[in-house]
Structure 1
Amino acid sequence: MTLVQMQPRPVIANPVHRTVAEVMDAAGPQVCDDMSVEVALSVMAAARTGRLVVCDQDGQCTGLVTQTELAAVRDSSAYTDRVRLRDILGEHGSFTSLVTTMAEAEHAMRSGRLGALPVVDEHGSALGILALSR
């Protein structure tokens, strides 16, 4: 008979009680809400990302825009080069905090039909992104 050394399994937090801080991704590029749609699309292309965190003049997170959303705005008949990110944020002004549980965040994202949500600190500064797995 051979002895087998067993390693204890790490204790995994209950998924219901896990917080957003445990699973969020880095925030990535952050841009000001007065940026034009065309410039934002260029920033996305250069950064090779599909989304940008949008902040106001004071550095407070005001939302998130995706490449798909920006392309749709640019391709619409109402588009002009004067359209700024703040003009199109609409419902995407949603965000969550580090202490929000994953269950709460997932519910909010699914009910709001959001694929990603900025994570902010107590001062409203973006810390990361929470994205739903597809």
Structure 2
Amino acid sequence: MTIPFPHPARPGHGLTVADAMDPCDYQIADDSTVDQANDIFLSAHVEYLVVRGHDGRCEGLVTQPGLHSFLTRSWYTDRTAISSMVHQQGPFTWPGMGLRLAAVAMRIKHLAVWPVVDEDGYLLGVLTAGRAAALLATPSA
């Protein structure tokens, strides 16, 4: 059964999150350790990792600065799962949400990156504040 998004965009009413979202190349399972996440950050030179649950659904987002308190105590890093640390969690945005509304929500929530999920909670991509601002600054938005 397909459930419509709460605020589907109508043609001619501006840009949606789907118009601005980017693919997300780096994800990590919620039972992965802080040490494993740090290895990905160091080798891939990324700013964030999307956290996915055991069922493959998006659980949140973690940043390297968010790992800092765990990395200062080396014995924590190989025992602490990402799921047990504080990280950005839902609600997430959906592709049919208006881009202006999403940009306002991101400003209010102080988000630089916001996961975009389908109606079942599976990751479709990410919306970055910079990309949303750039698209909204164009005259056609």
- Please, what TM-score do these two structures have when normalized by structure 1? 0.78
1:65-110 CA-to-partner distances (Å, cap 9, x unmatched) read 11221234423x6x723221112244x1121111111111111111
The separation in 1 between residues aligned to 2:113 and 2:86, in whole angstroms, is: 14
2:71 matches 1:105:
no
What residue is the counterpart of 1:67 in the other structure?
64
Paired residues, number: 119
Structure 2 alignment gaps of length 5 or more: 1-10, 134-141
2:76 equivalent in structure 1: 80
Any conservation in 2 of the 1:64–1:89 contact (CA below 8 Å)? no
Which SS does the other structure have where 1:31 is aligned?
strand
Correspondence list, 1:46-61, <5 A: 46-61=43-58
The code of the aligned residue for 1:65 comes to V
**Helix, strand or coil at the partner of 2:97:** coil
Greater Rg over alpha carbons, structure: 1
Q: C-alpha distance in 1, partners of 2:46/2:20?
A: 19
After TM superposition, give the deviation of residue 49 of structure 1 in Å.
Answer: 1.2
Residue 83 of structure 1 aligns with an amino acid whose one-letter code is T
**1:36 aligned residue:** 33
CA contact under 8 A between 1:96 and 1:120: conserved in structure 2? yes
CA distance in 1, matches of 2:41, 2:118: 24
Conservation of the 8 A alpha-carbon contact between 2:30 and 2:52:
yes
SS in 1 for 2:104: helix
Q: What does residue 126 of structure 2 align with? A: 129
Unaligned runs of 5+ in 1: 1-12
* Residue 119 of structure 1: how far off its partner (Å): 0.5
Q: What SS does the aligned partner of 1:118 have?
A: strand
1:88, 1:109 → 2: CA distance?
A: 22
Distance 1:99 1:73 in 2: 37
SS at 2:46 equivalent: coil
In percent, how many aligned pairs have the same letter? Answer: 34
Contact kept, 8 Å, 2:27 with 2:51, in 1: the verdict is yes
CA RMSD of aligned residues (A): 2.3
Q: Please, what TM-score do these two structures have when normalized by structure 2? A: 0.74
In the alignment, is the contact (CA less than 8 A) between 1:37 and 1:83 conserved in 2?
yes
